[in-house]
Structure 1
Amino acid sequence: MDLAEELQSLSVSDILKESISIPKQSPKTFYLITLTLIFPLSFAILAHSLFTHPIISQLQSDSPAAAASDWSRLLIFQFFYLIFLFTFSLLSTAAVVFTVASLYTNKPVSYSSTVAAVPSVFKRLFLTFLWIALLMVGYYIVFLGFLVLLVYSVDTQNVGLFVFSILVVFTLFLGVHVYISALWHLASVVSVLEPVYGFTAMKKSYELLRGRTYIGFSIVFGYLTICGVINGIFASIVVHGGDDYGVFTRIMVGGFLVGVLVIVNLIGLLAQSVFYYVCKSYHHQTIDKSVLYDHLGGYLGEYVPLKSSIQMENLDA
């Protein structure tokens, strides 16, 4: 039985159950991936505001001359933070997707083999990310254009109409943002498991997402919502709660929230891997386990790639 048949017609809850069960197959490997990649990523996401908040507060009270120095500090910090964020995000994605695929193909799994494969996988993911980033930039430009047009075209004196228009625009913005995020996550898996990356991986993920958009949307929206809640609680208690909460309470809450975010990020990465196979199943495509096994081995220099690393076949209905 091929992978698509094994994971055929899974619902969102089934995908989550499958994702949670995967680390049990190689607990040591996933423990080390979580400790070395996902934990630093999760910690940076939350701790970021702890460092920027004092600088922003200083900017609000500084003179223009002093503000220039603080702006420089803030921009430099943001620059290195974004590099760290995207680097560890791509590394975590590469490690998890590679490990999950190895388990599904019965390939020997270890932390050392995953780490050895990550550099090659990272290159492909980075090129795909650049295309997604270009898509996001274009989308934000269009969104801002519509927002400016809305402000000028809608009568701001009519508060009800103006608020309604803003809500409609932001709802559409959120919907498209979640869809592009789902496209990105699926394209990341495609970049690892198929001999395509960049724009071609985006096109492939778009084709796979058709018919399963609701499931992909639900997974990504749920993930972003949970992350938003975690960040909100962290900001209100740990970052801004100095006058209402003691140091011990803030440390305990902060540590707990980092732990929760680590689990959420790990499950999210596992879910995007499983979702890829669900999409393949929906489109009646199979993945040859032996060929996928060789494709994964190619990242470790274990074989000379053939013309096509992964062979897809359409099943007759």
Structure 2
Amino acid sequence: MDREQEEMQFIGFFGIYKESYKVIFAWRKIFSKIALSLILPLSFIYLVHMEVSSLFFRKIIHNEIELDHTRSGTPKYEKLSDLISDEWAYFWLFKAAYFTLVFIFSLLSTAAVVYTIACIYTARELTFKKVMSVVPKVWKRLMVTFLCIFVAMFFYHVLAIVLIFIWAISIGPSNLGVLVFFILMILYLAGLLYLTIIWHLASIVSVLEEAYGYQAMVKSKNLIKGKLWVAIAIFLTLNITLLVIQFGFQRLVVHGSTLGMANRVVFAIICFLLLSKMFLFGLVIQTVIYFVCKSYHHENIDKSALSDHLEVYLGEYVPLKGKDVQLEQYHV
């Protein structure tokens, strides 16, 4: 973060990537420790989930096929039916455990990376021990913001389902209906991407400012104006990268039995390392985008005030007042 904040408003797509790489490289020691303690477990859980889910589905499908070829009312039929019910129960328990762990490690990783970059920006003394002591307190604010975003996403999907239902009963799969459905899908995906960008930027706001929850979402929506297309391009690139890694893991590891165990292990390690690097890089990029947006809107972050804001996390957590984080306007 060696640029002056006034200059950051002019950073574009490639500049944000370059700035993020420079931050990670300059502070690679502490980012490596954050990756080892939080991001590597997150990546491991993410990939193991795909492998275990595939095993569950293969077993359930096999038993359901066998059940279809078994006469009902027989002991074997009852045994298979009970077995399938148990397998579905275990599957949903596994899903619940997976989402819980991903939720926890995602928030902890976000808190650690954003706090680290904020300390770098304010030239504060920074140690891995200090970061880890702060993370649980920052996590509380992030959790509130996540829950607000979750509610917004829920209602967004309810609205999408209602629109699809109206389409089905009013137009249906006619020539005009297919065109309308295609337009609705584009609008749905665009809205989903926009909400995702708001979500990620709101997470940064929750750590670096006093706003969190719904207020952080509103602040994020206002900040992204003017830099929306850059943010869209970056988040699309990151999501496409994630999909490529996920597809590669499923094709070469989960469904790669013909490749042999040794090759599958090698591919699994490669996907694991790539995913971990992408998660870390993505979190740093989100924070850099925040500073770029602040600069674009001529909101100069007072480094001493931000430093005081970060200092609060080191003591007992108390709600901050507006005067604790003073955002000054500068003129270009």
TM-score of the aligned structures, taking structure 2 as reference length: 0.89
Pick the aligned partner of 1:237 from 228, 239, 252: 252
Give the corresponding residue for 2:235: 220
Whether 1:175 aligns to 2:190 is yes
Deviation at 1:315, TM superposition (A): 2.7
Deviation at 1:179, TM superposition (A): 0.8
Partners of 2:15 and 2:246 in 1: CA distance: 27
Partners of 2:325 and 2:195 in 1: CA distance: 25
Pick the aligned partner of 1:115 from 118, 132, 135: 132
- Greater mean deviation of Cα atoms: 247-256 or 165-174: 165-174
Partners of 2:268 and 2:176 in 1: CA distance: 41
Partners of 1:116 and 1:3 in 2: CA distance: 29
- Greater mean deviation of Cα atoms: 41-50 or 114-123: 41-50
Pick the aligned partner of 1:281 from 295, 306, 311: 295
Instruction: Mark the runs of 5 or more structure 2 residues left unpaired by the alignment.
Output: 68-80
Counterpart residue type for residue 209 of structure 2? E
Give the corresponding residue for 1:92: 109
Counterpart residue type for residue 237 of structure 1? L
Give the corresponding residue for 1:37: 38
Partners of 2:60 and 2:165 in 1: CA distance: 27
Counterpart residue type for residue 276 of structure 1? Y
Question: Does the C-alpha gap of structure 1 residues 258 and 72 become closer, same or farther in structure 2, counting only changes over 3 Å?
Answer: same
Residues 58-107 of structure 1, C-alpha deviation per residue, up to 9 Å, x if partnerless? 22232433221111001100001000001100000000000001001100
Residues 12-43 of structure 1, C-alpha deviation per residue, up to 9 Å, x if partnerless? 11001000111233222111101111111112
Partners of 1:161 and 1:253 in 2: CA distance: 46
Contact 1:3/1:287, CA 8 A, preserved across alignment:
no
> Over the residues paired in the alignment, what is the CA RMSD in angstroms?
2.0
Counterpart residue type for residue 249 of structure 2? F
Give the corresponding residue for 1:8: 9
Partners of 2:189 and 2:23 in 1: CA distance: 31
1:187-266 paired onto structure 2 within 5 Å: 187-242=202-257, 244-266=258-280
Contact 1:105/1:289, CA 8 A, preserved across alignment:
yes
Partners of 2:248 and 2:288 in 1: CA distance: 30
Deviation at 1:221, TM superposition (A): 1.4
Deviation at 1:127, TM superposition (A): 0.4
- Greater mean deviation of Cα atoms: 113-122 or 170-179: 170-179
Give the corresponding residue for 2:61: 60
Pick the aligned partner of 2:92 from 75, 78, 87: 75
- Greater mean deviation of Cα atoms: 20-29 or 283-292: 20-29
Contact 1:212/1:279, CA 8 A, preserved across alignment:
yes
Deviation at 1:316, TM superposition (A): 3.8
Partners of 2:294 and 2:196 in 1: CA distance: 19
Counterpart residue type for residue 221 of structure 2? Y
Question: Does the C-alpha gap of structure 1 residues 201 and 233 become closer, same or farther in structure 2, counting only changes over 3 Å?
Answer: same
Contact 2:198/2:220, CA 8 A, preserved across alignment:
yes
Question: Does the C-alpha gap of structure 1 residues 60 and 91 become closer, same or farther in structure 2, counting only changes over 3 Å?
Answer: same
Q: Percent identity?
A: 36
Partners of 1:177 and 1:307 in 2: CA distance: 31
Question: Does the C-alpha gap of structure 1 residues 247 and 161 become closer, same or farther in structure 2, counting only changes over 3 Å?
Answer: farther
Deviation at 1:144, TM superposition (A): 1.8
SS of 2:10's equivalent?
coil
Partners of 1:28 and 1:316 in 2: CA distance: 37
Partners of 2:294 and 2:5 in 1: CA distance: 6
Instruction: Mark the runs of 5 or more structure 1 residues left unpaired by the alignment.
Output: none
Deviation at 1:166, TM superposition (A): 3.8
- Greater mean deviation of Cα atoms: 215-224 or 269-278: 215-224
Deviation at 1:298, TM superposition (A): 1.1
Give the corresponding residue for 1:25: 26
Counterpart residue type for residue 294 of structure 2? K
- Greater mean deviation of Cα atoms: 25-34 or 168-177: 168-177
Q: Which structure has the larger Rg? A: 2
Deviation at 1:162, TM superposition (A): 4.9
Pick the aligned partner of 2:146 from 129, 142, 148: 129
Partners of 1:227 and 1:150 in 2: CA distance: 32
Contact 1:194/1:309, CA 8 A, preserved across alignment:
no
Counterpart residue type for residue 53 of structure 1? S
Give the corresponding residue for 1:50: 51
1:150-169 paired onto structure 2 within 5 Å: 150-156=167-173, 158=174, 161-169=176-184
